[in-house]
Amino acid sequence: MTKAIIAGSSFLATLLTSGLVAGSALGQSAPGPLSAPNVKITVDRQQGTCPKQVGLWWFVLPYEGGAEHTVVFDSLAFADSSKLVSSTKQVTEFVAPLRSNYASCVGRTRATSFPWYSVQFRNKQAYFRVDLQKTGAPFTEINYRTVAASRPFVRWAIAD
């Protein structure tokens, strides 16, 4: 009986150790949540005090024949709230009043390799825009748009 207890204890110890090592390895290699935007777009300032960049969280979920894109503008870096002002299946626009330290800003984000995301600063406001017509793809559609946690949130799809 003692041999059975020792063998069982040894097996249990091996199992626990394996689980701890595997758990540690997974914990070290698995990425954490994105607490900072993963895309930055430079702002071209025309006048006033402007943010240097606008951050985006941009996630892509590919599927056969296309992909679903989710984008969240980091408007809280320079504005307190956002609201949806217009939307079609191809173009969505949000507006956010700028905080007092950026209220003088006049400028826009620089055209980048993804010009369908843009922000324009004028009249003490920031205008966030997703314009799928600028993708050049024939089958794109905005599926969902809202303000989440005071930030503009858009989900759109592209297909072959």
Backbone CA torsion sign across 61, 129, 34, 146:
negative
* Burial profile 119-135: b = 16 or more Cβ within 10 angstroms, e = fewer: bbbeebebbbbbbbebb
3-class SS of residue 60:
strand
Tell me, what's the pLDDT at 94?
98
**C-alpha 20: how far from chain center:** 33
CA angle 80, 83, 84 (to 5 degrees): 155
What is the average per-residue pLDDT within 7-22?
A: 35
Interval 92-144: pLDDT, tens = 999 999 999 999 999 999 878 889 999 999 999 999 999 999 999 989 999 99
Mean pLDDT of 57-61: 95
pLDDT in tens, 130-156: 999 999 998 999 999 999 999 999 999
pTM: 0.77
pLDDT score recorded for residue 54: 95
Q: Above pLDDT 70, what percent of the chain? A: 79
- Give CA separation, 57 vs 28, 79, 160, in Å: 23, 17, 24
